[in-house]
Structure 1
């Protein structure tokens, strides 16, 4: 017991001043969405909010209700006859910093493009309904979002006299999938699509995510020692979970906000997933050249793995706790399942859940799955948050009708509707990073129809962010290949 409980206070005192907290990470999604804002080196005059009238239900002509969708414009680089670049918003608030930064801005400068970004319904300030009740969330779907884009593209194209210009869509992560699907479903509205880090294959149980996390951690400078130490720490936690004094010890070691109830399978599973989430998030955004959620971006795979391999800190459990403390920025760690469910049941636009947690979880429960589970032995985090936990979350948040059967039916429909990895559409580029766990549901091999760019050593949406002198050669080459492909589309 003494070995397991050894303190890590010294290393924490050194590391805590270096970082700010990264926020809640659930279902592969940080608090404000999977695509953050790029690192801005100076203050910019950002474009103002603009509003577009959308139909609530594009598939029911008898429903005449409308709502206002937020969008942004930047015509700084445009010359008449140039292309129109459309950035698609996703499962978080649309950030206008993207209207002045990022790789697509460099393409726009070179190609004299007019740039537009559209916020996704039910996220940010784009509120189609008075609240986020289950009845209202029925209007939140990728199909409705694509219809929003089609209506917006058609009307704005006419209003701004861009109806004969060539349009290119851009998106990263879920919006990357939307970008590909927009080209698939509305090929007359965009001549090409950039679909970065796009998980186009819906899948209920997604244990491959953690397998990629394991493989990515093994690329650290300490190699396999990182995963070995995580696995040893997990075994120590399993030992402590066997008795009440162990629960109390774990609550203290990991600075939990409330006592750990070892008799609650949901609390225990959520606790294990919360700790694993520290590594999942760091891997997903490793060296991505952005200040995520306004915080420091100096936490990398090497940062965490150096801690896990450092014998001077103490036991593997002490090092695991050091990682947790580092990423929680000294705040207590909230691992309560009931608290999480209560937060995600909030339906008000003024609630914390409106940042996107309630909406994105609903989309996973009805369309995508994407549940990062431990249903594989090919990862170091034990077998403690299985698919049943995610299914239980859907039922507890939205109602018993959101069960495994309906979850799977939604996933099946999504793949039937869009084609999954067998998508049949031309003029799409699918960039993916080898470090990014989401590439396991993406397209990484080219065909005669579309181009896949698999970028060694990069993480989620890396090619979308501003270039850095530290970028690997493969990332620089990927941006060049994307630019050349867009130019080819525009010349056709």
Structure 2
């Protein structure tokens, strides 16, 4: 392994250590996944080899800002990676890793279950960063006027243009077999790419893909509540009851105006004095439990359902409210945060910032996409929700109005169009495999049952968001091991079909 790869890994490790803001929990999870994946991918590279290791190739493709209006004329740089190490050229398949709402890095073509499959099947491995995330953006890309070019439809057109570019650059055969992989929003893109461009992509694996857009995503916290009660991951009915009781106590104090007490108890960075600050506090506390369910030990130390439930059911700590204080203190300490930032104005200032960041999650961009395409707002107005009743749809939609001038009715219309355009959770595609974990709250918006003989689904008991995409490990639970084997079986079958029926649609 060359010194450049070592330097890159060390830089990535530094990035992982730098995460301090509560609102960057999701970014920290992604960074930690990259660190772990890169360590595993590079572990064998330190040993002497008969031939030098070929690092992934990083490149940039100029893409039109608007694929649907060639009069526009402007373009932006889109970053990609290519790994030829396992490729059985020229007839080997092409595996495309689809980027999403965060920056990509070389690990996308070095590690993960898709790369284990690439090695097994001799595939050329590609990864394309999503427009307007990471380095794939112009300097003015976060301005309101530029964000109008950010959409899933434009992203799919980017992937089609990338297909043409790679085909020409590597002199691929016209009938080369492309299989795409993606997880979370990129999982939806992988499914939609197969749906909208079946002549380009032979098959797709869509992991944790919320293909059904939804304005009021009440199902998210319904799954969280069920997971807090699920003994498979260390939950229990007693834990769920304690969490609900703790948040009811928080709501009672908020309603009674006992703000000084809450500021002190939950180590607020400032007073809960401005409009929206109470909702920020309620959301921050709920995020600890949501993050534990969605990522299950990836976001912060102690961030598993089992560990949080041990605290929430420990009567020795006092009332459920006092146990919630212990959970919050543990979270702040594990994230090295001095206090909990509950200022709504602080949150809006961050989301209004147009300063580019070449790493991590693009929060401003993703919020724009939720306002103009997907919704996905995780509320707590359903009676099964164990968190604060201040987590309302109206509060979430207020961000769209304040940040981008998008009125609530326009958000609803955009969500409805997205479902009409892609088919929601009945896309009616072929050679498409949906993979979900039943602990992951996002599985509620995915495809959970076979739709046909070639539009299939796998639901993995006890696993969280995109767990199947991680590299295989000896400690993996049996349901996850079996699910990966089924994914392997389907990919192998698709490749056999492609060889015997090269013209199949």
Question: What is the TM-score normalised by the length of structure 1?
Answer: 0.89
- The answer as to 2:85 corresponding to 1:59 is no
Partner of 2:34: 37
Aligned to 1:8: none
Corresponding residue for 1:12? none
Is residue 2:122 matched to residue 1:112? yes
Match of residue 225 from structure 1: 238
- Give the whole-Å Cα distance in 1 for the aligned partners of 2:188 and 2:153: 12
Secondary structure in structure 1 of the residue aligned to 2:34: coil
2:331 pairs with 1:327? yes
CA contact (8 A) 1:129 1:136 kept: no
Q: 2:198 aligns with which of 141, 165, 187?
A: 187
**Aligned in 2, Cα 1:370/1:34: closer, same or farther, shift over 3 Å?**
farther
Change (3 A) 1:58 1:422: same
How far off its partner does 1:51 sit?
A: 0.7
Please point out which of 381, 394, 400 is paired with 1:394. Answer: 400
Give CA deviations for 1:187-218 in whole Å, capped at 9, x if unaligned. Answer: 11110001000000001000110010000111
Greater CA drift, 51-60 or 324-333: 324-333
- Which stretch shifts more, 173-182 or 32-41? 32-41
Match of residue 140, structure 2, among 130, 141, 164: 130
Query: How far apart are the structure 2 equivalents of 1:68 and 1:196?
Result: 27
1:483 paired with 2:492, answer no
Q: Which residue of 2 is the match for residue 357 of structure 1?
A: 363
Q: 1:262-292 CA distances to partner (integer Å, 9 max, x unpaired)? A: x73x2212211110000001100125xxx65
> How many correspondences in the alignment?
461
Contact 2:246 2:324 in 1 (8 A): yes
RMSD: 2.3
Work out the CA distance in 2 between the residues paired with 1:200 and 1:33.
Answer: 21
Is 1:168 matched with 2:179? yes
Q: Is the 8 A contact 2:56 2:84 kept in 1?
A: no
The residue that corresponds to 1:257 in the other structure is: 269
Within the candidate set 338, 346, 351, 2:345 is matched to: 338
Residues 140, 21 of structure 1: alpha-carbon distance in 2 compared, 3 angstrom cutoff: closer
Change beyond 3 A, Cα 1:42–1:197: closer
Could you say which residue in structure 2 is the equivalent of 1:348? 355
CA distance in 2, matches of 1:467, 1:350: 31
Structure with bigger RCO (C-alpha 8 Å, 6+ apart) = 1
1:50 aligns with 59
Residues 1:417 and 2:421 aligned together: yes
Once the two structures are superposed, what CA deviation does each residue of 1:217-239 show, in whole Å capped at 9, x if it has no partner?
Answer: 11143511111111111122123
SS of equivalent residue, structure 2 residue 76 = strand
Structure 1 pair 314/391, CA: closer, same or farther in 2 (3 Å)? same
TM-score when normalising by structure 2: 0.87
Residue among 450, 456, 464 paired with 2:461: 456
Give the alignment partner of residue 253 of structure 2, picking from 240, 246, 265.
240
Q: Find out whether 1:77 has 2:86 as its counterpart.
A: yes
Deviations 1:307-350 (A, max 9, x none): 11111222211211221222222521111111101110111215
1:33 CA displacement: 6.0
Q: Which runs of 5+ in 1 are unaligned?
A: 1-18
Instruction: Tell me the distance in 2 between the aligned counterparts of 1:369 and 1:31.
Output: 23
| SS across alignment from 1:338 | helix
Q: Which sits farther off after the overlay, 158-167 or 249-258?
A: 158-167
Alignment of 1:369-380 (within 5 A): 369-380=375-386
- In structure 2, the CA distance between the partners of 1:407 and 1:90, relative to structure 1 (3 Å rule), is same
Gaps in structure 2 of 5+ consecutive residues: 1-16, 46-54, 498-505
Separation of aligned partners in 1, 2:81 and 2:123: 14
1:131–1:348: 8 Å Cα contact kept in structure 2? no
Q: Take 1:345 and 1:83, find their aligned partners in 2: how far apart are those partners?
A: 43
- 1:107 Cα deviation from its structure 2 partner: 0.4
